[in-house]
Structure 1
Amino acid sequence: MFLERHFVEKPWGRDDLPPEFGAHGWQRIGEIWYNGVGQSPLPLLVKWMFTSEKLSIQVHPLEADAKQRGLASGKEECWYIVDAEPGAVLGIGTNRALSAEELRTASLSGEIEQLLDWKTVRAGDYFYIPAGTIHAIGAGITLVEVQQPADITYRLFAYGRPRELHLEDGVAVALPAPYADARSGHVSGNLKLAEGPHFWLHHIVDEAGKGSIKDGGPYWLVPGFRHSTHDGVPTAPGGCIIGGSLEQLQVGQDSSLLIAGITKA
Structure 2
Amino acid sequence: MRLLGTKIVEKPWGKDVLPPQFDVPEDKRIGEVWFEPPPEMPDILVKYIFTSEKLSVQVHPDNAQAKALGESDQGKEECWLVIDAEPGAVLGIGFKQAVDAETMRRAALDGSIEALMEWHPVKAGDFFYIPAGTVHAIGAGVSLIEIQQNSDITYRLFDYGRPRELHLDNGLKVARGEPYAGYLHRHIEDHSAVTLVDGPYFKAAIIVGAAIGTDVSDVAGPKLVLPLEGVVTIDGAALQAGECGLADGAQSVSATKDARWILISAA
For normalisation by structure 2, the TM-score amounts to 0.93
User: What does residue 10 of structure 1 align with?
Assistant: 11
Counterpart of 1:193 (choices 178, 192, 196) is 196
State whether residues 222 and 247 of structure 2, in contact with CA within 8 Å, keep that contact through their aligned partners in structure 1.
Answer: yes
What are the residue-to-residue correspondences of 1:48-63 with 2, within 5 Å?
48-63=48-63
CA distance in 2, matches of 1:112, 1:195: 31
**Taking every aligned residue pair, what percent have the same amino acid on both sides?**
47
**After superposition, what is the alpha-carbon deviation per residue over 1:114-161, rounded to whole angstroms, capped at 9, x for unaligned?**
111100111111111000000000111111101000001000001112
What are the residue-to-residue correspondences of 1:125-144 with 2, within 5 Å?
125-144=126-145
User: What does residue 46 of structure 1 align with?
Assistant: 46
User: What does residue 212 of structure 2 align with?
Assistant: 209
CA-based RMSD of the aligned residues comes to 1.7
**After superposition, what is the alpha-carbon deviation per residue over 1:190-239, rounded to whole angstroms, capped at 9, x for unaligned?**
10112221111111113332564221121111110123322222221111
State whether residues 58 and 136 of structure 1, in contact with CA within 8 Å, keep that contact through their aligned partners in structure 2.
Answer: yes
What are the residue-to-residue correspondences of 1:86-235 with 2, within 5 Å?
86-188=87-189, 189-209=192-212, 212=215, 213-235=217-239
Unmatched tracts of structure 1, length 5 or more: none
CA distance in 2, matches of 1:53, 1:99: 28
1:11 aligns to what SS in structure 2? strand
CA distance in 1, matches of 2:104, 2:214: 45
The residue type paired with residue 11 of structure 1 is P
State whether residues 12 and 54 of structure 1, in contact with CA within 8 Å, keep that contact through their aligned partners in structure 2.
Answer: yes
The residue type paired with residue 191 of structure 1 is V
Matched, 1:261 2:262: no
**After superposition, what is the alpha-carbon deviation per residue over 1:72-120, rounded to whole angstroms, capped at 9, x for unaligned?**
3110001011111111110011111111111101111111001111001
Unmatched tracts of structure 2, length 5 or more: none
Richer in strand (by share): 2
The residue type paired with residue 101 of structure 2 is A
The residue type paired with residue 197 of structure 2 is A
The residue type paired with residue 160 of structure 2 is Y
The residue type paired with residue 239 of structure 1 is E
Matched, 1:66 2:66: yes
For normalisation by structure 1, the TM-score amounts to 0.94
- Deviant stretches of 4+, over 3 Å: none
> 1:217 and 1:187, CA in 2 relative to 1: closer, same or farther beyond 3 A?
farther
The residue type paired with residue 150 of structure 1 is S
1:25 shift after superposition: 0.9
